Amino acid sequence: MDELIRKGAALIRSAEKILVFSGAGLSTESGIPDFRSPGGLWSKYDPSDFYYQKIVADEGAREKYWKMSSESYGLMKDARPNQGHLAVKKLEDLGKLLAIVTQNIDNLHHKAGNSPEKIIEIHGTAFSVSCLRCGKRYDRDVIEGRIQSGTKVPYCDECSGILKPETISFGQAMPQEKMELAMRHARVCDLCLVLGSSLVVYPAASVPVQAGESGARLMIINRDETPLDRDADLVIRESIGRALGGIMEALGHSRERAV
């Protein structure tokens, strides 16, 4: 492990434009289960019930969707950033962070203190809700209050349109502007740091692929093997907080206290 930490520190020391690509494995260290892991939501619900077109077309599907989504939000709302998130914030403090491209919808990079303009949430966020008809946005807690009061399927105050958390569902189009921005960063970064992603979900995983093809070095910290391991300059199969926290310590920066 010590040798891997030294190699990781060397990669970060020499980098000037680091693109962080984060996935569910980063959030599990804050107590948010991966949807696909044992005990995750997909062990309780059938993901095929939550395809975008089904949600739009069927009120029964919307009721089931809101039940699942509220359960997920309850896990995220009070979650706190962990050592991995705080290490990413330190990269920004050091002037090395180009951007964060995250698959996570849990707001934890924001809670860690990273600049909002540095965070690209390519799968959206669970912390706001919008109307699919008129576009009116709502704070998530406002809608959750309605659900806790007995509303099973909330609708828009303005136009009675379908409300949906601003997350990307199965079968829903990815946000084009965010993906284009992520790919632009991938083409110019000199180090892509993958944290807790299986790198099997596309088109999101095309971001680190593009970074590697554009000449960036690639460091992957993930407990399990990924399809890009063979192309990476460094792979660390360890807790992100332990590994990235150790790397920052090797660079002369003490671990931040989790907030």
- Beta-carbon-side half-sphere exposure of residue 219 (alpha carbons within 13 Å): 27
Say whether 110 is catalytic: no
SS3 225: coil
CA distances 165 to 62, 120, 231, Å, are 11, 17, 36
Q: What three-state secondary structure class fits 29? A: coil
Can you tell me the distance from the alpha carbon of 243 to that of 249, in angstroms, rounded to the nearest whole number?
10
Which SS3 state, helix, strand or coil, does residue 72 take?
Answer: helix
Give the active site residue among 110, 123, 185, 253.
Answer: 123
Closest CA to 216 of 12, 4, 7, 2: 12
Strands, sheet with 234-236, edge to edge from the N-terminal-most edge strand: 119-121, 97-102, 18-22, 191-195, 217-221, 234-236
Pairing of strands 163-167, 124-131: antiparallel
Dihedral sign (CA 104, 105, 110, 112): negative
CB–CB of 73/140 below 8 Å?
yes
The residues carrying an active-site annotation are 123
